[in-house]
Chain A
């Protein structure tokens, strides 16, 4: 589903990713862990299409398509979803207005008619319940005044609504208390499907106790330096990154 090959990327001329290679298949859950400055957030930013990140070498194929050729909205239409680490507040745009525009843009890209209001509201309410979000939050402005936990839940809610093929959770667990982490994890687990893949970028082993990954990668200095099964996360918890940073 996703093939990242020898990816090099720079920010303001400074190389951050230095030959990252990653292969994610449909149905899989991958965790990417790594110390601060390893390039985890840069990877997320490059996948989302954020400005200021320059890919200098390598390629990213998403279902055979060159992802880097696509605009951010086209990446979304193709089935990519990034749950942001710091979801931005958008005062004046309600969640309903926002998701109506997003859903209808997805539908237009597939040649489908826009949803009518009743269909839209039914879908939004169903998915809000999955995240234990009060339906009143749909009338609020996007992320405005949301607590840290609400924002992260709102990200997963959007994911559930847009029904993507590949989900990248960029430190979704940071700033979540145990209850919120459980709600988010339950929702992700409920959405695990043979046709869907997840990449969980995280600092902590904790979220991986709730969402069991198939593969765990250690990212250091812009490259994947070690990959293994779920037990790798546990070893990291015990030993820290140090033993894994020198290539075997």
Chain B
């Protein structure tokens, strides 16, 4: 790669360089004129150097390697790649819309909580989708080199049904900003699959959603291989009966990094959230998970559940797990659980004592660990494909 022959920057200089580069592309042309000026003010103020100074950002990135900042990035270009898992559903395939003035997704964009989010919100590379009744869409945004910010909005009309397939590839640094608006009584399912076995790429997704009354969002963040992947998932439940179910199954190959930062806001009564994440971490791999549940004063009768389990394959594998609950309502049920550990010798002995060779037994147990999440995927071909790509039999 061309980049490798160039001088590395210091982290601070890299942050400044990237700030200028991302500001230069943030024209706001993908936003309705009524939002543009407002957003460009956020862009002017956004400064990636604050990653090293602002307390909440330092905390947010505490366990995430930021070596990518040392590259003297140039802007990359958007290409389409062939997805790992093509949609096989029954729903009609949706194309981006040209006119986006009134899209609910754009009018429900959350206030940026990081310079990244500010810089990406006004991205010049954008796509907007609108789903009425039923539809599926396929996002295979990719870039071969350079840094590429890409903004996508999806508006799901009330009582509609949507399936979103997100399968980006990158050989550089892909910054994906996705915002979904789930209208009243609508349901959305998001499959985010990553399979970048031989690439050097950095994949950073900031995914957010607003879910209205009786709306449902279900997501599957599935990593087969990714040299560096960070996913921020921010969901706001704004109407009674809204629910979100987030699932994650990460196979973190030797030396890889998978970082997940979740924030669920219960901003209305009778809402439900569920997080089930599992990380299988091989030698020198790193899993970083932070899961925040924030219950507003209005969020009475909230039902929230969160679980992150990490299985460390070798002593050199690392998992950081941080559950965070902030609750401002008094009648709620919030539970969370974190486990991190090595393979249980008892399970291994049990399989071996029935004649299964040690390597096969270990492999079976690795697959079984992720199966708790994978088995919840309602799409059979995806499930089977995932097991096959991860090298596990179903």
Is the beta-carbon distance between A73 and B355 smaller than 8 angstroms? Answer: yes
Is the beta-carbon distance between B354 and A158 smaller than 8 angstroms? Answer: yes
Is the beta-carbon distance between A162 and B354 smaller than 8 angstroms? Answer: yes
Is the beta-carbon distance between A101 and B345 smaller than 8 angstroms? Answer: no
A185 proximal to B (CB < 8 A) = no
Select A76's contact among B344, B353, B375, B393, beta carbons within 8 Å. B353
Taking CB atoms, residues of chain A closer than 8 Å to B368 are 90-93, 141
Assembly CA distance A97 to B350 (angstroms): 14
Please report which residues of chain A, range 55-78, place their CB below 8 angstroms from some CB of chain B when the two chains form the complex: 71-73, 75-77
B104 proximal to A (CB < 8 A) = no
Is the beta-carbon distance between B393 and A72 smaller than 8 angstroms? Answer: no
Is the beta-carbon distance between A97 and B355 smaller than 8 angstroms? Answer: no
Taking CB atoms, residues of chain B closer than 8 Å to A93 are 351, 364-365, 367-368, 371
Assembly CA distance A77 to B393 (angstroms): 23
A80 — nearest CB in chain B belongs to which residue? B353
B315-353 interface mask toward A, CB cutoff 8 Å, 1 = contact, 0 = none?
A: 000000000000000000000000000001111011111
A82/B353 contact (C-beta < 8 A), A97-B393, A101-B360, A105-B360 known: yes
Taking CB atoms, residues of chain B closer than 8 Å to A102 are 351, 354-356
B57-94 interface mask toward A, CB cutoff 8 Å, 1 = contact, 0 = none?
A: 00000000000000000000000000000000000000
Please report which residues of chain A, range 80-105, place their CB below 8 angstroms from some CB of chain B when the two chains form the complex: 82, 84, 87-88, 90-93, 97-99, 101-103, 105
Assembly CA distance A101 to B352 (angstroms): 10
A90/B351 contact (C-beta < 8 A), A73-B357, A97-B393, A105-B360 known: yes
The stretch of A46-54, A194-202, A213-221, A231-239 in contact with B is A46-54
Please report which residues of chain A, range 139-187, place their CB below 8 angstroms from some CB of chain B when the two chains form the complex: 141-142, 158, 162
Please report which residues of chain B, range 361-392, place their CB below 8 angstroms from some CB of chain A when the two chains form the complex: 361, 364-365, 367-372, 375
A105 — nearest CB in chain B belongs to which residue? B355
A193 proximal to B (CB < 8 A) = no
Is the beta-carbon distance between A97 and B356 smaller than 8 angstroms? Answer: no
Is the beta-carbon distance between A105 and B356 smaller than 8 angstroms? Answer: yes
A92 — nearest CB in chain B belongs to which residue? B368
Taking CB atoms, residues of chain A closer than 8 Å to B393 are 97
Taking CB atoms, residues of chain A closer than 8 Å to B357 are 73, 105
Taking CB atoms, residues of chain A closer than 8 Å to B346 are 88
Assembly CA distance A93 to B372 (angstroms): 10
CB distance from B394 to the nearest CB of A (A): 8
Is the beta-carbon distance between A76 and B355 smaller than 8 angstroms? Answer: yes
Taking CB atoms, residues of chain A closer than 8 Å to B354 are 76, 98-99, 102, 158, 162
Assembly CA distance A130 to B344 (angstroms): 31
Please report which residues of chain B, range 276-296, place their CB below 8 angstroms from some CB of chain A when the two chains form the complex: none
Taking CB atoms, residues of chain B closer than 8 Å to A141 are 368
**Chain A CB within 10 A, most for which of B356, B361, B372, B393:** B356
CB distance from B74 to the nearest CB of A (A): 45
Give chain A's interface secondary structure class. Answer: helix
Is the beta-carbon distance between B345 and A51 smaller than 8 angstroms? Answer: yes
Is the beta-carbon distance between A90 and B347 smaller than 8 angstroms? Answer: yes
Is the beta-carbon distance between A91 and B353 smaller than 8 angstroms? Answer: no
Is the beta-carbon distance between A71 and B358 smaller than 8 angstroms? Answer: yes
Please report which residues of chain A, range 100-144, place their CB below 8 angstroms from some CB of chain B when the two chains form the complex: 101-103, 105-106, 109, 141-142
Assembly CA distance A109 to B357 (angstroms): 10
CB distance from B352 to the nearest CB of A (A): 4
Is the beta-carbon distance between A90 and B350 smaller than 8 angstroms? Answer: yes
Taking CB atoms, residues of chain A closer than 8 Å to B375 are 92
Taking CB atoms, residues of chain B closer than 8 Å to A82 are 353
Is the beta-carbon distance between B349 and A48 smaller than 8 angstroms? Answer: yes
Taking CB atoms, residues of chain B closer than 8 Å to A158 are 354
Select A88's contact among B344, B361, B371, beta carbons within 8 Å. B344
Assembly CA distance A102 to B357 (angstroms): 9
Is the beta-carbon distance between A49 and B355 smaller than 8 angstroms? Answer: no
Taking CB atoms, residues of chain B closer than 8 Å to A76 are 352-355
Taking CB atoms, residues of chain B closer than 8 Å to A48 are 349, 353
Assembly CA distance A71 to B365 (angstroms): 19
Assembly CA distance A82 to B356 (angstroms): 14
Taking CB atoms, residues of chain A closer than 8 Å to B351 are 90, 93, 98, 101-102
Assembly CA distance A76 to B354 (angstroms): 6
Assembly CA distance A69 to B352 (angstroms): 15
A86 — nearest CB in chain B belongs to which residue? B346
Is the beta-carbon distance between A87 and B350 smaller than 8 angstroms? Answer: yes
Taking CB atoms, residues of chain A closer than 8 Å to B345 are 51
Taking CB atoms, residues of chain B closer than 8 Å to A87 are 350
Assembly CA distance A207 to B365 (angstroms): 34
Taking CB atoms, residues of chain A closer than 8 Å to B367 are 92-93
Assembly CA distance A50 to B371 (angstroms): 27
Taking CB atoms, residues of chain A closer than 8 Å to B347 are 88, 90
Assembly CA distance A164 to B28 (angstroms): 72
CB distance from B250 to the nearest CB of A (A): 15
Taking CB atoms, residues of chain A closer than 8 Å to B358 are 71, 73
Taking CB atoms, residues of chain A closer than 8 Å to B344 are 88
Is the beta-carbon distance between B365 and A90 smaller than 8 angstroms? Answer: yes
A73-B352, A93-B368 known; 4 new pairs, CB 8 Å cut-off, are A88-B346, A92-B369, A102-B355, A105-B360
Chain B residues with a Cβ under 8 A of chain A: 344-347, 349-358, 360-361, 364-365, 367-372, 375, 393
Chain A residues with a Cβ under 8 A of chain B: 48-51, 71-73, 75-77, 82, 84, 87-88, 90-93, 97-99, 101-103, 105-106, 109, 141-142, 158, 162
Q: Name 15 A/B residue pairs within 8 A (Cβ), A-sorted.
A: A49-B352, A51-B349, A71-B358, A73-B353, A76-B352, A88-B346, A88-B347, A90-B350, A91-B371, A98-B354, A98-B364, A101-B361, A101-B364, A105-B356, A141-B368
Q: 3 closest A-B pairs (Cβ-Cβ)?
A: A92-B368, A92-B371, A76-B355
